Structure 1
């Protein structure tokens, strides 16, 4: 165990001040369900932890416009089981309940969930080379590309990294068009989803667009249209406690005649960030009532730029069927 300092913050500004005073190696600590694991593995070695789990950011409220406002310190269990979330945003509740175990959900927070780091075996094993962990932009590519990559990315990856983002909640928030509220050096700002997480490019060490010292305050989720339906479907290697091989969050709103008024689709398990399926959405919004051919064309368009590796090409037909079957279910 490497020694580290520990401070508990009581308000957001105090948390930011403590982090700044602790130096560049300090990290915020929420529920610790990911960060503490990485510290045990030696992947993370912060010189100081600033505990933000008890900040006054644990409320779930409905705004005047009907939006869901959830603080960063709200636990995954509290958010998933809130009656207003279950009724108004079922896709979000389903995604949260699909993640981890009940014990972990009791500790994990909204802010920490968004900042989960990849479960790529090369990233989590300090005996292996990893561009994401070591920050080596000049390395000869990502070792997972020719190694164990069965569950890694097929979309948006680069020579430097083929890792996938592990959060179920973030996939649902991406489909819902949520906004993340952040406090930084320049004050408070809002970051839309998609937009918080980034693709690896030549710097896979950065998972998000957050700047050093930025503190997530919470998320805002716009209300669904009356009559809109939503769902989250997760395909995994075993029935419980497993990360997604491929997952989908979908929202569908149709007119009385069956034509699509709005559709939003996000995929998990396929990229370095939750993947908004904008090509598929555009085809499904073309004014027609979706049939099997249109659904297949939409799915194929979304996956047309997939670049599978040696052992994960199976994710393309899997994602294709998941898009088609999920939209048909919502219909």
Structure 2
């Protein structure tokens, strides 16, 4: 993998407290605020509401890092919500990777769709990015009434490093709980060629030195950041579909490890090996007519969420 960016830094508590104050202010606004994000958007309009700020600005973090785009549901009924987390090896990328083609594929079958930014490694370590995603979910749940969203039917979807973050937030209850979101509100996960599902396994199999840069040099800290570590007994995990690229030397083994842990914990997991795809085409081709990954995902969600 080719990685870019400075090493991780931890944001001071005053910055996090500012975000907490922002969330409390939003909650206090009640129904008036709940209608504001989607105000003026025609029901079923085929357009997103762009650059919604889901958390307060923090010192040293670009304001754009804490914004999302939302495509409300296409019908007046509350729609289950897909929250997409972009990839970029935890160091780059943006919500643009959640494409209009993806959004329309989901909206055409009754879902709402959001694509989120989060702080990249130069602005904070992966656990801070995971906290950002949980706060984005909390914001969207507060906006549910005004935007036609079902706050208790949320699907976390991610690609590459974003799939790691989506899985971490779905399986480690602490992130959602800290944001005031009941973990059971996340009803399923969709992971596209995920990296970082089992960090120690990846390092042992590949000798990849960049994971120490992303997750820290101390292997004792890798367990908490590996989604596979949070798929054990304790609660029934949400069902997850994992798509991997045939021939990718890194992702199929990690996907099978997570799927095995989910099944052992009484959960459900499906691993689909995509033929004729690349790491990037798996994401950017999602939603295209005849795309197998899209069809399998929609069928899976129809059975588990709808």
Normalising by structure 2, report the TM-score.
0.30
Instruction: Give TM-score scaled by structure 1 length.
Output: 0.28
Q: Which has the higher helix share?
A: 2
Who wins on radius of gyration, i.e. which is larger? Answer: 1
